[in-house]
Structure 1
Amino acid sequence: MKTIKFFILAAAVLTLWVGCNKDNSTGTTRVKVRMTDAPANYEQVNVDVKAMVFKIDNDTAVNLNVTAGVYNLLDFANGLDTLIASNDVQSGKLSQVRLILGTNNSVKVDGVVYPLTTPSAQQSGLKLSMNSVLTPGVDYNLLLDFDANLSVVKTGNGTYQLKPVIRVITAATTGSIHGSIVTSLALPATVSATNGTTTYTTVTDDNGNFLVHGLPAGTYTVIVTPKLPFLPVTVSNVAVTVGIKAELTALAF
């Protein structure tokens, strides 16, 4: 059986969510794990979440209280998310998060539901390498940002595979860019935001809205590429500030 290689697009980072009590001596940390997604050109992308395991101090395995079930990733696009796990865990160095998927994964294309094969994720779990210290008395929020458009791969024989493309991001250390397209004939459109040599992409939803999130502070060039025969539009010098959603003027083609 061919092994599926999983791609992690960014280094995983945990950030302070509420507050810190330096006198806390219980040795535990509260962590909330949320899941979100970038829009994709599918009707549904369903993932079967079964379990999640933290590896702390390189040897201690902590099973999280996961809300197991089948999640349509497209329900959590453009800034929406869902809480999938919340736990008080042992404090220490978090070196790995393992997301375990079941067998009930599928994609819906043109009204037809196709199974998504994910042998590696079903057997040993999707492993996300971490390098974060969980301090006693500090609450952390971890956001798993799927890219459903890149995660679903159509094979040569017409079947589909799930090769999860995930960024691990935190809202407290990033900003976002929001905008909309009012010309329905130009939809769907692809949106990219570039800062230096790094580019982040998304696609519009059915109503023409888009949100590029998980962006480090900086100045971005945004390119909106609509459906043909409409031509791309570039918006330069878009300033992104930590914790702030930058709003673009609605675009008409």
Structure 2
Amino acid sequence: MAKWTCVFVLLFSGLFSCGEKEDIQSSRGSIEIYLTDAPAAFDEVNIDLRNVLINFTDSENSGWQSLDEVEAGQIDLLNLYGGIEKFLGSSLIESEKITGFMLVLGNDNYLVKEGMEYPLFAPGAQQSGLKIMLNKPTAISQDFEYILDFDAMASIQYDQQNDQYKLIPVLRAFERGSGGSLRGTILQKDVFTYVSIIKGADTINTITNSDGYFFMGGLAAGNYVLSVSPDRKYQKLMLDDINITAGNNIDLGVISLSEKPNTGTIAGKIVPASVSTTILLANDLDTINTINGQNGDFLFEQIEPGIYDLLIIPEVNSNYENKIISEVEVIAGDTTDLGVIQINKLNRTGQLIGKVAPASVDTRVAAILDSDTTFTTTQNNGDFYFEQLEEGSYTLWFDPIEPTDYLEGFLYDVKVNEGKTTDIGNIKLSKK
């Protein structure tokens, strides 16, 4: 009888232990992970998702475990924008802290640009995974949803040296319902529009969907600037002082874009600025002229869109060449900034020759024109010469080097003319 009693007690004890585990299991919350994306200037950005992991430990290097229900395969990130999400997997919560998430990618990553497919090299994601660290306290008995926001545009870099595209991931993770959110609708829904929200050095991007709608969630509290950048036909729009607070969901409503003006502007700067110039802007139909300001700046406003040639004409006797800049495009509503334009001096040169006596004195000769100085030295017979001196009126400086018992001398207003040789004859040095 005692034997049967013992067996009964052990069996009962085992059943109790199993029930206790089920109660503990059922009291644990769960976490679900979703993926969304910001836009990129490509047709497709496909990642080869192999696994999604979560970490509840205190270590970033160990303790990673796979989520349940992970569907491995390719995901086109550019399909996940404007509030569209993809479920990645789930897990029961195992501790009161979530250390982070990890995406593990395979080798078949690629992007499509203008109909052409290019491999997308993602070394970090293939070797050690893409880690998004949180280190966030978590209630073990509650359910959570987290969004992984993958910024495809910021994540893709072109390696010119190796002629390949690289995936250097830019991701952020936020709990659904945390922080604040921002949404709105662009009235011109057929207009391809980038939407960015900016706080200091941080920028979060998205694009509008086919209905003109945009959404950005998980925004930290603070003051933001919203930038709306439509295609060429419409003007860029900036909205300042958008105050995001935790739990505050701001709806900007319908935003109407303004068309750009039907004329454009051309700007630039002539260097050296001290040279007065006339600037002509011409095409087959019209010629417009202006002059540069004191600092070299020039501006053409209200110019009809089209392709123009720009002719820069320095003032007479400035010794600077004309310059032509061809195929300057004027776009309605935009400013074409030509930047700094360097004009060159005319190649108006002549020669200058002479002879220093006594010839035994090694002499340095300087030809000075305004702020420019050109040097030469005498030969054994005392001869000296300058080739390709700019046309102008020079001061010559004679500086005896050896022996040193001769005085330096000057000769003023020596004319050099284009294409001619000026012979100043014999220059006699005086002893000290």
- Which TM-score band (shorter chain)? 0.7 to 0.9
Cα pair 2:81 2:206 within 8 Å, conserved: no
* Amino acid aligned to 1:168: A
**Which residue number in structure 2 is paired with residue 41 of structure 1?**
41
* Structure 1 unaligned regions, length at least 5: 1-23
**Which residue number in structure 2 is paired with residue 82 of structure 1?**
86
**Which residue number in structure 2 is paired with residue 10 of structure 1?**
none
**Which residue number in structure 2 is paired with residue 60 of structure 1?**
63
Q: C-alpha displacement at 1:207, in angstroms?
A: 5.9
Is 2:248 the counterpart of 1:248?
no
Out of 24-33 and 117-126, give the one that drifted further.
24-33
Q: C-alpha displacement at 1:134, in angstroms?
A: 3.4
* Amino acid aligned to 2:35: M
**Which residue number in structure 1 is paired with residue 355 of structure 2?**
none
Measure the CA separation in 1 of the matches of 2:187 and 2:172.
26
* Structure 2 unaligned regions, length at least 5: 1-22, 260-432
Higher relative contact order (CA 8 A, sep 6+): 1
**Which residue number in structure 2 is paired with residue 210 of structure 1?**
214
**Which residue number in structure 2 is paired with residue 178 of structure 1?**
184
Q: C-alpha displacement at 1:42, in angstroms?
A: 1.1
Cα pair 2:106 2:126 within 8 Å, conserved: yes
Q: TM-score w.r.t. structure 2 length?
A: 0.48
Q: 1:117–1:222: structure 2 CA closer, same or farther, 3 Å change rule?
A: same
Out of 214-223 and 132-141, give the one that drifted further.
214-223
Q: C-alpha displacement at 1:83, in angstroms?
A: 0.6
Is 2:167 the counterpart of 1:153?
no
* Amino acid aligned to 2:177: A
* Amino acid aligned to 1:83: F
Measure the CA separation in 1 of the matches of 2:120 and 2:249.
36
Cα pair 1:28 1:91 within 8 Å, conserved: no
What is the root-mean-square deviation of aligned Cα atoms in Å? Answer: 2.6
Determine which of 180, 186, 195 is the counterpart of 1:191: 195
Larger Rg: 2
**Which residue number in structure 2 is paired with residue 4 of structure 1?**
none
**Which residue number in structure 1 is paired with residue 360 of structure 2?**
none
Cα pair 1:176 1:214 within 8 Å, conserved: no
Out of 144-153 and 133-142, give the one that drifted further.
133-142
Q: 1:143–1:246: structure 2 CA closer, same or farther, 3 Å change rule?
A: same
Q: 1:139–1:149: structure 2 CA closer, same or farther, 3 Å change rule?
A: same
Q: 1:199–1:39: structure 2 CA closer, same or farther, 3 Å change rule?
A: closer
Question: Identity across aligned pairs (percent)?
Answer: 28
- The 3-state SS of whatever aligns with 1:137 is coil
Q: C-alpha displacement at 1:196, in angstroms?
A: 5.9
Measure the CA separation in 2 of the matches of 1:183 and 1:128.
34
Number of positions where the alignment pairs a residue of Structure 1 with one of Structure 2: 228
Q: C-alpha displacement at 1:29, in angstroms?
A: 3.3
Determine which of 137, 140, 145 is the counterpart of 1:136: 140
- The 3-state SS of whatever aligns with 1:41 is coil
Measure the CA separation in 2 of the matches of 1:178 and 1:70.
30
Q: TM-score w.r.t. structure 1 length?
A: 0.78
